[in-house]
Amino acid sequence: MPTFHQKLASSWRKNDSLLCVGIDPDHKRLPKHLFECDKPYFEFGKAIVDATAAYVCAFKPQAAHFAAAAREDELALLIAYVKEHYPDLQVILDAKRGDVGSTAKLYAKEAFERYNADAVTVSPYLGKDSLEPYFEYSERGIIVLCRTSNPGSDWLQNSGDQTTPIYLKIAKQVNEWDSHGQCMLVTGATYPEELARVREVVGAMPLLVPGVGAQGGSVQEVLHHGQDAQGEGLVISSSRAILFADSGVGFGEAAAAAARSTMEEINKYR
């Protein structure tokens, strides 16, 4: 059985792409004609997947966007659709779970059994025992929050000894824990120099990089500071700039054009 890192590397090479499309359905921004369907969140996600699959290495559905609207079944349907029709691409469940004991086991079961995601985002705040249940799914990915793209993260993630701030301690520790090619780190495009410090610490470990597109992160800076020696090592996530490139019946075509343009910009700097 290939490791998650090996499967991800295969996905990078399939479309020659490091792009990940985040699927964050916003009820207020969904094309109005979709609400004529029984499952509008699924139909939206399916259209985005079909339109952009040729330009990505992964999809990243955001769990809360579905759960807050009581659309969890549509999330499960969407992930199943990707797994059936695009099995060479990775599905990252963006859930940012963080708990211990039996609760952590249930969160891991939810991600990997209920939803059958290839990987899930988690918080390291409670320590290794909060991650252990995810490690038990040895072929699945564990994507740990490290240096997130939001400005408010600075108070904690960049605190402590400036030689080794908190985010670097997380990077070093997760790198030590990762013995089966399972782990990635979330490192935001909005902090490119800190992205470089993480890359130096973790070597070839893949990094999930949000913050390009609507958040203003520079693709050029991300590639300059974050790619590995093979010109890979990154999953660069864009959501709103692709999802909502158009809000009418042509939203799929607009998403395809935005995804293709983003992929081409990424590859320009590899």
pLDDT tens sequence across 50-82 = 999 999 999 999 999 999 999 999 999 999 999
Domain-by-domain residue ranges, the chain? 4-268
The DSSP element (H or E) to which 73 belongs, if any, is helix 72-85
- pLDDT at 163 (0 to 100): 87
- pLDDT at 121 (0 to 100): 98
Give me the active site residues, please.
Answer: 96
Average pLDDT over residues 83-106: 97
The dotted CATH code for 4-268 is: 3.20.20.70
Give pTM, 2 decimals: 0.97
Average pLDDT over residues 219-237: 96
Distance CA 270, CA 135 (A): 31
pLDDT in tens, 123-149: 999 999 999 999 999 999 999 999 999
Q: Are 133 and 105 in contact (CB under 8 A)?
A: yes
Average pLDDT over residues 102-120: 98
pLDDT higher than 80, residue 214: no
Lowest model confidence (mean pLDDT) among 23-32, 171-180, 214-223, 242-251: 214-223
- pLDDT at 160 (0 to 100): 81
Distance CA 265, CA 269 (A): 7
The tokens for 259 are 């995804």
Task: Categorize the per-residue pLDDT at 190 as very low, low, confident or very high, splitting at 50, 70 and 90.
Answer: very high
- pLDDT at 215 (0 to 100): 76
pLDDT higher than 90, residue 249: yes
